[in-house]
């Protein structure tokens, strides 16, 4: 078939790669001048299946109220008249119970673990490099309460067969010596040896090059205006460069996916959650991460990417506003300075992107339901890089009518049908 992929971020490019590997003619359309120029450009750099956790969890409403009173809150809600945001927040709150949390986390772990295995196979097949390291992740706890809460996640990790280890402070520092000067701040940490790190932008651009070698066509600088619907199928895509047609269409536009579906009468519960990052030149090896760590207190990730350190995190509900907030930068700098400090913050590159979040944390991968040739691959939230290869492989198998390697029905948009 001829398959049109809408979006050249990490989700769109991995989808195109796996579709091309199955022999399809693939064309990718994106408004940017190159691949991975929006949300995939400067994310936290973590491939973290073991850290796949829904935001919707028991106790979140109480935590969120407390965060609102803090200057360095991991969550910021900008007041605005936005009915899509209100609907999304309502659905998220409905998932803030133990039963829903267990279901959603198990789904996320399944696709994320599968995706990590697909990434490993792709790396072995192609020899692709992207400042990648396979040295695990440590979730750092600064309070006894955080350590106690980790026991619940460890139960779910054990049930899903995900390797993990609760470390004391000395064992944390043995794995991440750069944290030695922050010893007094730490209470413990959850080590996830199967997690990895790497530059998603570098990976996506290099995979796009390899996809072109397979025959994939990339149409950059081509804004998408609308999908043209028929009675049961999509007839074409209207772009600024004209009408483009294919046999099947894959929607991988991240936070912008719902805007393209709305005129078709399809309501997709994906809302943009704004995140920030700093990319910092390494100045002191002895005070830098070896791999990647997450500061649970501020929800900030710090990842080693070659001679750079990526500091990413915070969550802001503010629609599609891409302005850079000075306050959010201060939070990233505070977390990094507390724990490491081995980078030149004065020369940091400050960036923001919109994560496409679903209320339950699980991505939407599969058929659109209403149109037989329209497929969805979006809603990965903060875990697009983590889930990209698995989601792309899963979707390619579904489009080709092949039996996927993992259960997939609960990843479809049908779970939101009322």
Say yes or no to pLDDT of 191 above 90: yes
Say yes or no to pLDDT of 374 above 60: yes
C-alpha torsion 263→260→271→361, nearest 10: 110
User: CA quadruple 166, 169, 171, 176: dihedral positive or negative?
Assistant: positive
Fill in the DSSP letter of residue 85. H
Say yes or no to pLDDT of 96 above 60: yes
Helices 200-213, 10-21: inter-axial angle, 10-degree rounding: 30
Same domain, 264 and 276: no
Interval 403-413: pLDDT, tens: 999 999 999 99
* Nearest in space to 53 (alpha carbons), one of 107, 114, 113, 105: 105
What would the mean pLDDT of 301-305 be, rounded to a whole number?
Answer: 98
The proportion of the chain whose per-residue pLDDT surpasses 70, expressed as a percent, equals: 100
pLDDT of 75 reads: 86
Interval 304-314: pLDDT, tens: 999 999 999 99
* Nearest in space to 200 (alpha carbons), one of 372, 16, 8, 18: 8
Angle at 249 between CA 246 and CA 255, to 5 degrees: 145
Using CA atoms, how far apart are residues 104 and 416, in angstroms rounded to an integer? Answer: 13
Give the CATH number for residue 281: 3.30.9.10
- Strand 308-317 relative to strand 300-305, pairing: antiparallel
Say yes or no to pLDDT of 402 above 90: yes
237 is known to lie in a ligand binding site: no
Using CA atoms, how far apart are residues 341 and 375, in angstroms rounded to an integer? Answer: 44
Say yes or no to pLDDT of 79 above 80: no
Q: Are the beta carbons of 182 and 338 closer than 8 angstroms? A: yes
3 is known to lie in a ligand binding site: yes
Say yes or no to pLDDT of 417 above 90: no
Same domain, 233 and 171: no
pLDDT of 180 reads: 97
Q: Which of 318, 339, 357 is the last residue of a domain?
A: 357
Q: Which two tokens stand for residue 172?
A: 């944390």
Domain assignment present for 66 = yes
pLDDT-derived band of residue 74, with 50, 70 and 90 as boundaries? confident
Q: What are the φ/ψ torsions at residue 276 (nearest 5 degrees)?
A: -130, 155
Q: Which of 330, 357, 384 is the last residue of a domain?
A: 357
What would the mean pLDDT of 366-390 be, rounded to a whole number?
Answer: 97
Same domain, 320 and 220: no
Same domain, 350 and 294: yes
Domain assignment present for 122 = no
Same domain, 20 and 143: no
pLDDT of 416 reads: 86
pLDDT-derived band of residue 249, with 50, 70 and 90 as boundaries? very high
pLDDT-wise least confident of 56-60, 103-107, 240-244: 56-60
pLDDT of 256 reads: 98
Buried b (16+ CB within 10 A) or exposed e, 276-290: bbbbbebeeeebbbb
Same domain, 352 and 372: no
pLDDT-derived band of residue 141, with 50, 70 and 90 as boundaries? very high
Cβ neighbors of 83 (< 8 A, separation 6 or more) are none
Write the burial class of residue 212 (CB in 10 Å: 0-12 exposed, 13-18 middle, 19+ buried): middle
What would the mean pLDDT of 60-87 be, rounded to a whole number?
Answer: 83
What would the mean pLDDT of 187-216 be, rounded to a whole number?
Answer: 98
4 is known to lie in a ligand binding site: yes
Same domain, 242 and 387: yes
Cβ neighbors of 284 (< 8 A, separation 6 or more) are 341, 342, 343
Say yes or no to pLDDT of 143 above 90: yes
Q: Are the beta carbons of 254 and 381 closer than 8 angstroms? A: no
Q: Are the beta carbons of 5 and 252 closer than 8 angstroms? A: yes
Same domain, 146 and 292: yes
Domain assignment present for 22 = yes
Using CA atoms, how far apart are residues 309 and 326, in angstroms rounded to an integer? Answer: 19
Give me the domain span that covers residue 257.
2-41+202-270+361-416
Mean pLDDT of all residues belonging to the chain = 95
11 is known to lie in a ligand binding site: yes
pLDDT of 66 reads: 78
138 is known to lie in a ligand binding site: no
pLDDT-derived band of residue 243, with 50, 70 and 90 as boundaries? very high
Say yes or no to pLDDT of 111 above 80: yes
Q: Are the beta carbons of 4 and 198 closer than 8 angstroms? A: no
Say yes or no to pLDDT of 266 above 90: yes
Say yes or no to pLDDT of 349 above 60: yes
pLDDT of 89 reads: 93
DSSP helix/strand/coil, 344: coil
What would the mean pLDDT of 320-343 be, rounded to a whole number?
Answer: 96
Q: How distant, in Å, are the alpha carbons of 135, 336, 337 from that of 345?
A: 25, 9, 9
pLDDT of 72 reads: 86
pLDDT-derived band of residue 367, with 50, 70 and 90 as boundaries? very high
Interval 212-240: pLDDT, tens: 999 999 999 999 999 999 999 999 999 99
Same domain, 280 and 389: no
Q: Are the beta carbons of 334 and 371 closer than 8 angstroms? A: no
Q: What are the φ/ψ torsions at residue 158 (nearest 5 degrees)?
A: -65, -40
Say yes or no to pLDDT of 204 above 90: yes
Domain assignment present for 206 = yes
Same domain, 151 and 80: yes
Interval 42-68: pLDDT, tens: 999 999 999 899 989 998 888 887 777
Helices of type H across 252-408: 257-261, 326-339, 384-399
Q: Which of 357, 374, 391 is the last residue of a domain?
A: 357
Same domain, 239 and 312: no
Domain assignment present for 169 = yes
pLDDT-derived band of residue 81, with 50, 70 and 90 as boundaries? confident
Same domain, 318 and 410: no
Domain assignment present for 51 = no
Domain assignment present for 141 = yes
Q: How distant, in Å, are the alpha carbons of 236, 312, 344, 384 from that of 194?
A: 42, 20, 30, 17
Domain assignment present for 393 = yes
Write the burial class of residue 144 (CB in 10 Å: 0-12 exposed, 13-18 middle, 19+ buried): exposed
406 is known to lie in a ligand binding site: no
Give the CATH number for residue 222: 3.50.50.60
Q: How many domains does the chain have?
A: 2
231 is known to lie in a ligand binding site: no
Per-residue HEC secondary structure of 165-192 comes to EEECHHHHHHHCHHHHHHHHHCCEEEEE
Say yes or no to pLDDT of 80 above 90: no
């Amino acid at each position: 078939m001829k398959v049109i992929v809408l979006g050249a971020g990490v989700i769109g490019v991995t989808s195109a790669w796996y579709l091309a590997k199955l022999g399809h003619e693939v064309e990718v359309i994106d408004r940017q001048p190159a691949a991975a120029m929006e949300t995939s450009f400067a994310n936290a750099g973590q491939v973290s299946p073991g850290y796949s956790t829904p935001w919707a969890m028991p106790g979140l409403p109480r935590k969120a109220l407390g965060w609102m009173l803090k200057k360095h809150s991991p969550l910021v809600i900008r007041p605005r008249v936005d009915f899509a945001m209100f609907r999304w927040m309502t659905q998220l709150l409905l998932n803030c119970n133990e039963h829903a949390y267990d279901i959603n986390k198990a789904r996320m772990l399944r696709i994320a673990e599968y995706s990590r295995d697909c990434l490993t196979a792709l790396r072995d097949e192609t020899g692709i490099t992207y400042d990648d390291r396979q040295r695990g992740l440590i979730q750092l706890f600064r309070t006894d309460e955080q350590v106690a809460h980790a026991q619940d996640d460890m139960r779910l990790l054990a049930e899903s067969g995900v390797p993990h280890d609760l470390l004391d402070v000395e064992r944390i520092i043995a794995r991440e010596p750069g944290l030695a000067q922050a010893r007094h701040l730490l209470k413990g940490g959850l080590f996830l040896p199967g997690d990895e790190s790497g530059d998603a932008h570098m990976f996506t651009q290099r995979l796009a090059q390899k996809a072109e070698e397979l025959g994939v066509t990339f149409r950059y600088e081509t804004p998408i205006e609308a999908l043209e619907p028929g009675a049961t199928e999509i007839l074409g895509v209207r772009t600024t460069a004209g009408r483009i047609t294919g046999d099947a269409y894959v929607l991988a536009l991240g936070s912008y996916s719902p805007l393209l579906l709305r005129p078709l009468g399809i309501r997709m519960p994906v809302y943009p959650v704004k995140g920030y990052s700093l990319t910092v030149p390494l100045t002191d090896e002895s005070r830098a991460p070896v791999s990647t760590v997450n500061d649970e207190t501020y929800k900030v990730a710090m990842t080693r990417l070659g001679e750079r350190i990526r500091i990413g995190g915070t969550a802001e509900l503010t629609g599609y506003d891409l302005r850079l907030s000075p306050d959010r930068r201060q939070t990233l700098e505070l977390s990094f300075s507390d724990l490491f400090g081995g980078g030149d913050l004065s020369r940091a590159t400050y960036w923001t992107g919109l994560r496409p979040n679903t209320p339950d944390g699980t991505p939407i991968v599969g058929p659109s339901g209403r149109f037989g040739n329209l497929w969805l691959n979006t809603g990965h939230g903060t875990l697009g890089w983590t889930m990209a290869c698995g989601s792309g492989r899963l979707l390619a198998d579904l489009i080709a009518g092949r039996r996927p390697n993992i259960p997939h029905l609960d990843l479809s948009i049908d779970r939101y049908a009322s």
